[in-house]
């Protein structure tokens, strides 16, 4: 059987190429906030070109129905995009990933049911039996991989969404023998895909999809809340590979280029997040981190610490030359970012230099804290990444830690027995004074570890709600 090649007119190939270039430029624009908005518009143009080209190529009687589907989907998307709170971005991104995955599965299924429309099959007429449509063996592999990755992306993202949205506990769920089950399921999927080349029965296709849904679910449930930034980046990557695999199936260059871009993007973000937590990718995937909360907190509570009031904090900061604010996710939960920005404004009016120091995993997804600060009107050129600002703490008068904990823990540098040992942390303890805002002395950080910083001589604990405490400081400064 000849591998017939799908003929696409040259102008179509060119149009898809232009769309691909637009997407590259959209990502390139993100190197700088100034060029990013133009980049995003270029991305929209690329998408419009891809859609218009496809519609022009496939004259269809179903144009009204297609337009209806676009309008319904588009309207839902626009409403969500307008209403969503910035603290909920990780959930939203997870939900969007699940849609890409599901769309890939549906496209794969549609191509399976009507392969001739996609030009990936040939009609075979054996002697003395009815003719049937046979999908090219190579297309079957590509299709099988595409729907498998799509299904994993879908069910994995649904679990990630439920965990991030709080519908499901962030605690890892550990099944017995889970590694055996997971590897067995993956092997079964690969075996089915290779069997699919011999037999294109609906049962085989259905099993590939079904098992992939299950493995996506099994892969994500053992991963704890602290590792969610890695998971969400990883699913980002999967959604790209799913699009690329479908691009291979449908011989579509726009999908292949985009899939490769998104796949690499997610992979790089996963790597950055793993490095920021000093975790290996394999150990994140294996799951279970954060399952055992440390039992040593009771002993730690009796250690002496210094406690200060909002007035003390205001006095110290007003006298300072430079203040570095270290925000964590707790600040966003308390909705304190606007109060923090107000405090920074008052300090700047008094001639104090104010900077923000962001740890890569300060939020719940890559870059999350930067968005939260930008939303509170904090200028982006006052916000610095860990490696750019860490050397400055030694020349800083006050470090104001709000809602962050583990990312400031000196144990990561000097306590080899600590679970976070080796993780890059912000050197806040080098500042002359550390003001640490915390609800109470009892609770421990996300990773369940006590923080030696609380008991240092140069640390003043500000116990209370992050938002109220900051507002009181604002009042005292005003």
Partner 1 sequence: MDFISILSIFVLACFVGYYVVWSVTPALHTPLMSVTNAISSVIVVGALIAAAAAGVPGSKWLGLVAVALASVNIFGGFAVTQRMLSMYKKRERPGDKTHG
Residue 377 binds partner 1, judged by CB under 8 A: yes
227, 302, 381, 406: which one is catalytic? 406
Binding mask 334-373 for partner 1 (x = CB under 8 A): ------------------------x-x--x-xxxx-xx--
Q: How far apart are CB 121 and partner 1 at their closest, in Å?
A: 12
Residue 279 binds partner 1, judged by CB under 8 A: no
Residue 117 binds partner 1, judged by CB under 8 A: yes
Q: How far apart are CB 358 and partner 1 at their closest, in Å?
A: 8
Q: How far apart are CB 383 and partner 1 at their closest, in Å?
A: 6
Per CB under 8 A, the list member of 91, 104, 193, 435 interacting with partner 1 is 104
Angle among Cα 99, 104, 107 to the nearest 5 degrees reads 120
Distant-in-sequence, close-in-space partners of 178: CB < 8 Å, separation ≥ 6: 218, 222, 287
Q: Which of residues 384-413 bind partner 1 (CB under 8 A)?
A: 385
Instruction: Output phi, psi for 202, to 5 deg.
Output: -55, -30
Q: How far apart are CA 214 and CA 200, in angstroms?
A: 21
Instruction: Please indicate whether residue 312 is annotated as part of the active site.
Output: no
Q: Which of residues 131-170 bind partner 1 (CB under 8 A)?
A: 138
**Six token digits for residue 464:** 């209370």
Angle among Cα 28, 31, 32 to the nearest 5 degrees reads 125
For the chain, the maximum distance between any two Cα atoms, rounded to a whole number of angstroms, is: 95
Collapsing DSSP to helix, strand or coil, 437 comes out as strand
Q: Which of residues 236-265 bind partner 1 (CB under 8 A)?
A: 236, 239-240, 242-244, 246-265
Q: Are 145 and 27 in contact (CB under 8 A)?
A: no
Residue 454 binds partner 1, judged by CB under 8 A: no
Residue 302 binds partner 1, judged by CB under 8 A: no
**Six token digits for residue 3:** 């591998």
Residue 233 binds partner 1, judged by CB under 8 A: yes
Q: Which of residues 30-69 bind partner 1 (CB under 8 A)?
A: 30-33, 36-37, 39-41, 43-44, 46-47, 50-51, 54-55, 58-63, 65-66, 69
Q: Which residues pair with 327 in a beta bridge?
A: 402
Q: How do 398-402 and 322-327 pair as beta strands?
A: parallel
Residue 329 binds partner 1, judged by CB under 8 A: no
For partner 1 (CB under 8 A), the number of binding residues is 123
Query: Please, is 142 exposed, middle or buried when counting C-beta atoms within 10 Å of its C-beta (0-12, 13-18, 19+)?
Result: buried
Residue 423 binds partner 1, judged by CB under 8 A: no
Residues marked active site are found at: 406
């Amino acid at each position: 059987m000849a591998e017939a090649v799908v003929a696409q007119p040259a102008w179509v190939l060119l149009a898809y190429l232009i769309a691909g270039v637009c997407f590259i430029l959209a990502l390139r624009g993100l190197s700088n906030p100034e060029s990013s908005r133009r980049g995003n518009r270029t991305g929209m143009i690329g998408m419009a070109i891809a859609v218009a080209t496809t519609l022009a190529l496939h004259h269809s009687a179903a144009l009204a129905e297609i337009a209806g589907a676009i309008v319904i989907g588009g309207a839902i998307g626009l409403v969500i995009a307008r209403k969503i709170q910035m603290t909920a971005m990780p959930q939203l991104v997870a939900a969007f990933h699940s849609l890409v995955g599901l769309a890939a599965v549906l496209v794969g299924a549609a191509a399976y049911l009507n392969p001739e429309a996609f030009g990936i099959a040939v009609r075979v007429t054996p002697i003395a039996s009815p003719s049937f449509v046979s999908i090219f063996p190579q297309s079957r592999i590509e299709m099988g991989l595409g729907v498998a990755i799509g299904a994993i992306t879908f069910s994995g993202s649904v679990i990630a969404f439920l965990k991030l949205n709080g519908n499901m506990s962030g605690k890892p769920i550990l099944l017995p023998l889970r590694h055996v089950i997971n590897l067995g399921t993956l092997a079964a999927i690969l075996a089915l895909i290779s069997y699919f080349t011999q037999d294109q029965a609906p049962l085989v296709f259905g099993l590939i999809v079904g098992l992939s849904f299950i493995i996506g679910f099994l892969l994500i449930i053992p991963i704890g809340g602290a590792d969610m930034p890695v998971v969400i980046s990883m699913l980002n990557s999967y959604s790209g590979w799913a699009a690329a695999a479908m691009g291979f199936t449908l011989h579509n260059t726009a999908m292949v280029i985009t899939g490769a871009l998104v796949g690499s993007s997610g992979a790089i973000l996963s790597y950055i997040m793993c490095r920021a937590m000093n975790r290996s990718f394999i150990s994140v995937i294996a799951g279970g981190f954060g399952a055992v909360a440390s039992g040593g907190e009771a002993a730690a509570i009796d250690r002496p610490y210094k406690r200060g009031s909002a007035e003390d904090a205001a006095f110290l900061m007003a006298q300072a030359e430079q203040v570095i604010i270290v925000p964590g996710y707790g600040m966003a939960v308390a909705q304190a970012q606007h109060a923090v920005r107000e405090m920074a404004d008052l300090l700047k009016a008094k001639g104090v230099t104010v900077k923000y120091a962001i740890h890569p995993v300060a939020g719940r997804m890559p870059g999350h804290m930067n968005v939260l600060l930008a939303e509170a009107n904090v200028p982006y050129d006052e916000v610095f990444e860990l490696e750019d600002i860490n050397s400055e703490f030694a020349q800083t008068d006050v470090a104001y830690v709000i809602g962050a904990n583990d990312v400031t823990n000196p144990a990561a540098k000097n306590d080899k027995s600590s679970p976070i040992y080796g993780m890059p942390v912000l050197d806040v303890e080098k500042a002359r004074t550390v003001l640490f805002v915390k609800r109470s002395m009892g609770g421990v950080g996300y990773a369940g570890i006590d923080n030696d910083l609380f008991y240092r001589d140069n640390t003043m604990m500000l116990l209370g709600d992050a938002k109220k405490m900051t507002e009181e400081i604002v009042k005292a400064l005003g």
